[in-house]
């Protein structure tokens, strides 16, 4: 039994007890079923926290809407109690969970979207547009959980409402200063997504004319992308993952490269700098924390199909950051850098790739296999099976800095069509420019019968003289 399976077995025992109750909450007897969670060999604090019993878990059905297009369920979920009232101003994590079931959907595998947002006691009026779009496109169940992380949160009564990276960075600092590895916000974020999956399973099991969900594809962006990796590491109901714009696995190496490439810390990660974290990457406290929250630590567990969607101009991460993790990931994996896009991926085709990937999982469609080798000159030789519908080489230049952030260079990547050679290989040259730096990658478009185009790419290679950040 692998670690994910062992952990999930204990979680499942808890759910069996829970389902025997007339209310969908976490009764006290759950504690007995989950106490064994502390004894699985090879566990981290993340594993133990996610498996720890929590009587505050509960959900209720707020509304059900049926129309010609299908059914939408809205759940009010309390996922957990995190920390004490002396440490945070709101200890219970609450979420809205939409479950969108298009007419005719019959797969028991759902897409779980991990969403952000802010806490609100008022239920939303309409399901999220993205969930509806993906459910309609893939003809499958799509669920979306909101408010991960729960925010804003005030820590230690400091009068500061914290959100997003400001919140995460402060919890990292608390973990180090308090010598308490239960502090990093990635722990409750992961548990919230797992509990949302529990709620979706339970709700669909009792609703009429709705397939009972058993398995999941998990996707999320940015901090939710980080959570996507960790959910895949701790829960064996996950058949595939699609982390989006979180190009930072192998965190310490990636962050060192960030500073080497730019010569400074980009404003996008300024919250971590302000908390004094980035200049202490070799401190034992940082090392211990990253041993829990860095998805790279769990890479041996991440054997499921992976579609990794990143932005060529991400304001958080240099574009060649996948060099620190992609080759070390086991199992099937697709890399998809979106050209001329920043961290928000506005106006891009990323949703098409996500839809195609999810559809391939629920329908059992064959996905392309793209592999490459690199020669001594840094040139990639790429092989695609099957042949793509279209292939492009994207290249951008910055004559003055090793910096390809979208807000610095704009839509600087220019595409040209490329053809395979007689051996069926595509070449991606990494010729250093006469001045400054260039970034290059190849993009391949596939029609796999999913109703959306699946785009996959090579890593982005940055060339320049001198070559920095290695």
Confidence of residue 3 (pLDDT cuts 50, 70, 90): low
pLDDT at residue 272, as a whole number: 98
Whether 236 maps to a domain, the answer reads yes
pLDDT tens digits, residue range 373-415?
Answer: 999 888 899 999 999 999 999 999 999 999 999 999 999 999 9
Whether 251 maps to a domain, the answer reads no
Q: Are residues 307 and 227 in the same domain?
A: no
From 183, 214, 243, give the residue that closes a domain: 243
Whether 272 maps to a domain, the answer reads no
How far apart are alpha carbons 278 and 294 in whole angstroms? 15
| Mean pLDDT calculated for residue range 295-299 | 98
DSSP class of residue 178 equals T
- Based on the structure, what is the number of domains in the chain? 2
pLDDT at residue 258, as a whole number: 98
Confidence of residue 441 (pLDDT cuts 50, 70, 90): very high
Q: Specify the range with the lowest mean pLDDT, choosing from 36-40, 279-283, 383-387, 412-416.
A: 36-40
Confidence of residue 1 (pLDDT cuts 50, 70, 90): low
In the predicted structure, residue 97 carries a pLDDT above the cut 70? yes
In the predicted structure, residue 33 carries a pLDDT above the cut 50? no
DSSP class of residue 431 equals P
pLDDT tens digits, residue range 109-166?
Answer: 999 999 999 988 899 999 999 999 999 999 999 999 999 999 999 999 999 999 999 9
pLDDT tens digits, residue range 417-427?
Answer: 999 999 999 99
Give the range of the structural domain holding residue 399, as residue numbers without chain letter.
294-464
DSSP class of residue 470 equals -
pLDDT tens digits, residue range 317-331?
Answer: 999 999 999 999 999
Confidence of residue 226 (pLDDT cuts 50, 70, 90): very high
In the predicted structure, residue 435 carries a pLDDT above the cut 80? yes
In the predicted structure, residue 2 carries a pLDDT above the cut 80? no
Residue in this structure with the two tokens 């529990």, named with its chain if needed = 198
Q: Are residues 304 and 375 in the same domain?
A: yes
pLDDT at residue 293, as a whole number: 98
How far apart are alpha carbons 100 and 103 in whole angstroms? 10
pLDDT at residue 432, as a whole number: 83
Neighbours of 403 (CB within 10 A): 19
Rg (CA), the chain: 22
Whether 226 maps to a domain, the answer reads yes
Of the candidates 468, 465, 463, the residue with the CA atom closest to the CA atom of residue 377 = 463
Confidence of residue 20 (pLDDT cuts 50, 70, 90): very low
Q: Are residues 197 and 335 in the same domain?
A: no
Q: Are residues 43 and 175 in the same domain?
A: yes
pLDDT at residue 78, as a whole number: 98
Q: Are residues 358 and 427 in the same domain?
A: yes
Angle between helices 350-363 and 129-138 (to 10 degrees): 50
Q: Are residues 212 and 336 in the same domain?
A: no
In the predicted structure, residue 27 carries a pLDDT above the cut 60? no
Q: Are residues 62 and 179 in the same domain?
A: yes
pLDDT at residue 24, as a whole number: 53
Whether 248 maps to a domain, the answer reads no
In the predicted structure, residue 167 carries a pLDDT above the cut 60? yes
Residue in this structure with the two tokens 């400091």, named with its chain if needed = 158
Confidence of residue 465 (pLDDT cuts 50, 70, 90): low
By CB neighbour count within 10 A (0-12 exposed, 13-18 middle, 19+ buried), where does 62 fall?
middle
Percent of the residues in the chain that have a pLDDT greater than 90, as a whole number: 85
List all residues 6 or more positions away from 374 whose beta carbon is below 8 Å from its beta carbon.
380, 381
β-pair type (380-385, 425-428): antiparallel
Q: Are 251 and 292 in contact (CB under 8 A)?
A: no
pLDDT at residue 11, as a whole number: 56
pLDDT at residue 39, as a whole number: 55
Mean pLDDT of the chain: 92
Q: Are residues 311 and 427 in the same domain?
A: yes
Whether 276 maps to a domain, the answer reads no
Of the candidates 246, 290, 239, 288, the residue with the CA atom closest to the CA atom of residue 269 = 246
Question: What b-and-e string marks burial along 433-450, b requiring 16 or more CB atoms within 10 Å of the CB?
Answer: eeebbbbbbbbbbbebeb
In the predicted structure, residue 38 carries a pLDDT above the cut 90? no
Q: Are residues 212 and 354 in the same domain?
A: no
DSSP class of residue 162 equals B
Whether 135 maps to a domain, the answer reads yes
Percent of the residues in the chain that have a pLDDT greater than 70, as a whole number: 90
Q: Are residues 236 and 106 in the same domain?
A: yes
Q: Specify the range with the lowest mean pLDDT, choosing from 38-47, 297-306, 355-364.
A: 38-47
Q: Are residues 218 and 336 in the same domain?
A: no
pLDDT at residue 318, as a whole number: 98
Whether 261 maps to a domain, the answer reads no
Q: Are residues 367 and 231 in the same domain?
A: no
Ranges of H-type helices in 178-222: 186-206
């Amino acid at each position: 039994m692998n670690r994910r399976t062992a952990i999930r077995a204990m979680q499942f025992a808890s759910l069996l007890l829970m389902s025997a109750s007339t209310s969908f909450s976490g009764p006290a007897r759950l504690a007995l079923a989950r106490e064994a969670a502390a004894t699985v060999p090879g566990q981290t604090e993340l594993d133990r926290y996610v498996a720890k019993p929590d009587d505050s878990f509960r959900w209720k059905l707020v509304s059900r809407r049926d129309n010609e297009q299908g059914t939408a369920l809205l759940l009010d979920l309390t996922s957990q109690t995190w920390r004490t009232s002396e440490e945070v101003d709101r200890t219970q994590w609450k979420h809205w969970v939409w479950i969108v079931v298009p007419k005719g959907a019959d797969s028991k595998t759902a897409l779980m979207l991990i969403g952000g947002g802010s806490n609100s006691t008022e239920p939303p009026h309409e399901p999220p547009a993205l969930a509806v779009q993906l459910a309609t496109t893939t003809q499958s169940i799509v669920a979306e959980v909101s408010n991960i992380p729960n925010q804003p949160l005030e820590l230690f009564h400091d009068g500061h409402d914290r959100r997003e990276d400001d919140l995460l960075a402060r919890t990292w600092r608390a973990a180090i200063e308090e010598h308490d590895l239960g502090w990093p916000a990635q722990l409750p974020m992961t548990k919230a997504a797992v509990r949302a999956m529990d709620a979706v399973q339970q709700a669909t099991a009792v609703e009429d004319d709705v397939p009972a969900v058993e398995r999941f594809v998990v996707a999320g962006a940015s901090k939710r992308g980080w959570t996507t990796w960790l959910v895949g590491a701790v829960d064996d109901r996950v058949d595939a993952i699609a982390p989006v714009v979180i190009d930072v696995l192998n965190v310490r190496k990636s962050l060192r490269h960030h500073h080497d490439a730019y010569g400074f810390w980009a404003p996008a990660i300024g919250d971590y700098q302000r908390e004094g974290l980035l200049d202490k990457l070799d401190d034992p406290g940082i090392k211990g924390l990253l041993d829990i929250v860095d998805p790279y630590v769990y890479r041996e567990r991440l054997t499921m199909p992976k579609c990794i969607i990143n932005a060529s101009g991400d304001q958080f991460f240099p574009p060649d950051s996948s060099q620190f993790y992609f080759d070390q990931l086991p199992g099937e994996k697709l890399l998809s850098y979106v050209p001329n896009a920043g961290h928000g991926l506005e106006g891009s085709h990323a949703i098409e790739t996500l839809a195609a990937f999810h559809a391939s999982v629920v329908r059992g469609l064959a996905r392309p296999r793209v592999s490459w080798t690199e020669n001594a000159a840094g040139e990639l030789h790429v092989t695609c099976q099957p042949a793509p519908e279209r292939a492009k080489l994207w290249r951008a230049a910055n004559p003055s800095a090793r910096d390809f952030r979208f807000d610095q260079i704009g839509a600087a990547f220019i595409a040209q069509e490329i053809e395979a050679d007689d051996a069926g290989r595509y070449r991606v040259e990494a010729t250093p420019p006469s001045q400054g730096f260039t970034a290059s990658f190849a993009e391949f478009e596939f029609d796999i019968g999913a109703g959306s185009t699946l785009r996959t790419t090579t890593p982005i290679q940055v060339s320049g003289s001198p070559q920095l950040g290695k």
